């Protein structure tokens, strides 16, 4: 599979630089997301996942290594990915419709009328018809996250980075949102890099999973999820699902107790 987004040998240290290799927060991290592939990163909290995202987004520069998009070097450059943060980060003074077109607006390249039309169409498609001119604070947590996801989906960047987008939701809403995202992704097939704490969430949604190690952050193991698409909830009971879940759990447990 042709890599869409690729991280090559990324290293990052904070504080006093050049004081030995043990100071590295992220060490020799390499991973990729293929065209139209759903890839998850899973690891204990504090394993530098958000630092990785900030580097992909261009907010931080790695000390060494490079980040490639379609083979082009985008290290330290902003505006090449679309992004769904953990907290919805909808602007409270913008209506749902205005929030949905925000990322398009920032990236440019589409007329206001065109982008609004597209946003309206998508809002209706995900069951948010009638909420176009509502302010985000009247929406439920799940609805807010749907708008945040649409905002990223509609922006022109091809790679979507999702940073624990369901982390702040309650368990039921979370499962609902996973099914929703799975269905939507299977229709749109964007290249997705998805960060999560939840092993089940990663297995349910992903084509591949990178299990991260802690201190320094790196790839502990790469797991290929063997289930066919479109997927249903039946895979949750699948023997292979249960085996992989136990396997990832033991990997992460080792990491935490270290």
Q: Which positions lie near other proteins, rule CB under 8 A?
A: 53-54, 57-59, 78-83, 85, 87-94, 102-103, 105-107, 135-137, 144, 155, 161
Name residue 29's beta-bridge partners: 10
Name residue 252's beta-bridge partners: none
Comparing C-alpha atoms, which of 194, 172, 167, 197 is closest to residue 182? 194
CA 126 to the chain's CA centroid: 19
Q: Which is nearer to other proteins, 105 or 186 (CB)?
A: 105
3-class secondary-structure state, position 18: coil
Q: Classify strands 38-42 and 208-213 as parallel, antiparallel or unpaired.
A: parallel
Q: Which is nearer to other proteins, 8 or 80 (CB)?
A: 80
183 vs 202: CA distance, rounded Å: 15
Give min distance, CB of 218 to other proteins, in A.
Answer: 23
Give min distance, CB of 181 to other proteins, in A.
Answer: 19
Give min distance, CB of 255 to other proteins, in A.
Answer: 27
Residue with tokens 């769904």: 84
39 vs 209: CA distance, rounded Å: 6
Q: Which is nearer to other proteins, 130 or 230 (CB)?
A: 130
Q: Which is nearer to other proteins, 50 or 198 (CB)?
A: 50
Give min distance, CB of 238 to other proteins, in A.
Answer: 35
């Amino acid at each position: 599979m042709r890599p869409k987004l690729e991280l090559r040998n990324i290293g990052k240290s904070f504080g006093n630089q050049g004081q030995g290799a043990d100071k590295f927060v992220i060490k020799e991290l390499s991973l990729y997301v293929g065209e139209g592939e759903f890839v998850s990163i899973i690891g204990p909290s504090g394993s530098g996942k958000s630092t990785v995202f900030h580097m992909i987004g261009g907010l931080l520069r790695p000390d060494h290594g490079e980040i490639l998009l379609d083979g082009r070097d985008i290290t330290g450059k902003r505006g090449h990915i679309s992004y769904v943060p953990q907290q919805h980060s909808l602007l409270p003074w913008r209506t749902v419709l205005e929030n949905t077109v925000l990322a398009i607006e920032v990236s440019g390249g589409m007329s206001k009328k065109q982008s609004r039309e597209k946003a309206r169409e998508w809002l209706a498609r995900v069951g948010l018809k009638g909420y176009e001119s509502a302010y985000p604070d009247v929406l439920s947590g799940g609805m807010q996250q749907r708008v945040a996801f649409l905002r990223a989906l509609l922006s022109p960047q091809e790679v979507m980075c999702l940073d624990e987008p369901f982390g702040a939701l309650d368990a039921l809403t979370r499962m609902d949102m996973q099914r929703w995202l799975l269905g939507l992704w299977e229709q749109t097939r964007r290249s997705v890099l998805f960060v999560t704490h939840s092993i089940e969430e990663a297995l349910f949604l992903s084509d591949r999973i990178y299990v991260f190690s802690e201190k320094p952050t790196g790839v502990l193991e790469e797991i290929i999820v063997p289930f066919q698409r479109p997927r249903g909830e039946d895979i949750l009971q699948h023997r292979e699902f249960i085996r992989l879940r136990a396997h990832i759990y033991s990997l992460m447990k080792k990491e935490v107790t270290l």
